Every structure is written in structure tokens, then in C-alpha cells.
Structure 1
Amino acid sequence: MMPLEIAWAATVQWLAGDVMCRVMMFTRTFGLYLSSYVLICIAIDRYYAILKPLNLTWEARMRRALILAWFCAALSSLPQSFIFHLEEHPEVRG
């Protein structure tokens, strides 16, 4: 997210093209969703660590939960690559 914001602040225009616009908007929201989903996984892991401290089978489930978190974050961010696109201003070019 930070390189995108720095480039935008420095140039005050988008120079990278339509595909990069879509990719950057996808990754921008992907990070937000992923951090939320991983935080949920951490909370669930801590819950089971306190509830059943000697149960070691939970580790495999947590790996699956993290994979699911990545998948859900990608799925949740996918609409951003369709919503955002590059357009030219009708009166000002460039």
C-alpha cells in the first residue's frame, strides 16, 4: 500500500496503465482483508490453546484456517480489480 500512496502523492496522476491500476487496487484491499482474517485465526488459536492446551492436532487445523484466510482475502479483494480502471478525463488529456 505504501509505494502506491507515495507514487500517487509524488506525481498526482496515474502513470502505470490500466492493468497495474487493477493489480494495485487488488493488493491494496487484499492486505486489509488478510490482516483481519489472520487476526481472527490468531484469536481462534489462542482460544483453543487455553481451552485444550495439550491437544496438538489443532496445528494442522490452524494451517488450513490460514490457507482459508488467504483464499477468502483474495476472493474478497477480487471485485476491486473489476471496479477500478483507468479512464481519461473528457477535457484534460494526460
Structure 2
Amino acid sequence: MSAGNGTPRGSAVGEEIWAGSGVELEDSELPTFSAAAKVRVGVTVVLFVSSAGGNLAVLWSVTRRQSSQRRPSPVRRLFAHLAAADLLVTFVVMPLDATWNITVQWLAGDIACRTLMFLKLMAMYAAAFLPVVIGLDRQAAVLNPLGPRSGAKRLLGIAWGLSFLLAFPRTRKGSQGETSIPRP
């Protein structure tokens, strides 16, 4: 069996990576670091820098102690959690996507893949759930301005807990038995 250029199948540069993966190599090209991928990496770097700077500034601002207050306000706590979730997206999702675009293949192994996919999903779920928590807290503040609002801590716990549970790696049964969730 040859690859069409006189070399045995699998001996061309890059083809051994795909051997046994079920990907047909004849009449197809291996992925490369294209111009579009370079643009995506550049945009990701710009977003990374601006997101890291902005969210670190917000986190610093809402967590520093105010001399006029004995304890931090609930709104500051909510914004601190939102900034933390956004920083998780910034420091996990963005570098993972940029690295994926540069290398065009996964080189770090199965455990790193599962761990990073878990963190990526957890970050994205948390970044989506926390604005909902802030909205619910603000709704409670508007509808009952003088009443106690002790539910914010519980809602934060639910948001982070759901983020963890929904991102947790699991296996599913397919037609061929146990299969794991696909890799990035």
C-alpha cells in the first residue's frame, strides 16, 4: 500500500499521527497552520490581554477592603465571582484555543485533554450562570428593597455546583459499548 508518491502508507511526515484513527488520508491534506488560524491566534491574544487586564482590575477593585464598610456588599461579592469566572475563561479557554490553532493537533495526552476540557466547560458554564445569579439578586433587590437578601450565597453555590456537575467528564453508552466524550 502506498500513499501515491512511492512511499509506504504512514511513512510520510505527519501521516503516522493519523494512523489507526479511522481518518482516510488518500486524496486529503493534513491540517496546517493556515492564515485564518494565524488571524484567530492574533485575535485570541488581543482578547486574552484585554480580558486579563480588565477582569484582574475588577477583581482587585471589588475585593479590596473599604474603610467605610465593615463587610463587603453582596453586589461586590457577586462581581468578584463573575470576574473569577471570566478569569477562568481567560486563563483556560483562550490559551487552549490558541494552542490548538497553532499546533493543529493534540499533543498532551488523554489526561491533560480530559482535565482541560473539564476546566473549559466549567469556565464557560460558570461565566453563563453567574450573570443569571446577578440578575436574580438585582430582581430581588428591586422587588423587595428593604427585605433580607441572604439567597445570593446559596445562588452562587448552585451556580458553581452546576458548572462543576455539568462539566464533569462522563462516559456514555453508544452502539459499540462504552465510549468517552470526544476530545477537542
> TM-score by structure 1 length?
0.78
Q: What does residue 2 of structure 1 align with?
A: 94
Read off the aligned partner of 2:97 and give its amino acid letter: E
Structure 2 counterpart of 1:70, from 160, 164, 174: 160
Equivalenced residues, count: 84
In structure 1, the residue matched to 2:141 is 49
Contact between 1:25 and 1:80, CA under 8 Å: does it hold in 2?
no
Which amino acid letter does the alignment assign opposite residue 113 of structure 2?
C
Moved more, 75-84 or 61-70: 75-84
Q: Is the 8 A contact 2:126 2:160 kept in 1?
A: yes
CA distance in 1, matches of 2:168, 2:137: 27
Deviations 1:26-52 (A, max 9, x none): 111112211221121111111111011
Residue 83 of structure 1 corresponds to which residue in structure 2? 181
2:111 is aligned, of 12, 19, 31, to: 19
Greater gyration radius? 2
CA deviations over 1:12-70 (Å, ceiling 9, x no partner): 11111111100111111112211221121111111111011122x31x31011101100
Percentage of matched positions with identical amino acids:
37
In the superposition, the TM-score normalised over structure 2's length comes to: 0.42
Match of 1:89 in 2: none
Give the Å deviation of 1:85.
Answer: 4.7
Coordinate RMSD, CA, aligned: 2.0
* Higher-helix-fraction structure: 1
For 1:32 and 1:61, the matched residues in 2 are separated by: 23
Structure 2 residue aligned with 1:90: none
Matched residues in 2 for 1:65 and 1:42: separation? 9
Structure with the higher strand share, 1 or 2: 2
Q: Which runs of 5+ in 1 are unaligned?
A: 87-94
Q: How does 1:26-37 map to 2 (within 5 A)?
A: 26-37=118-129
Runs of 4+ aligned structure 1 residues displaced above 3 Å come to 79-82
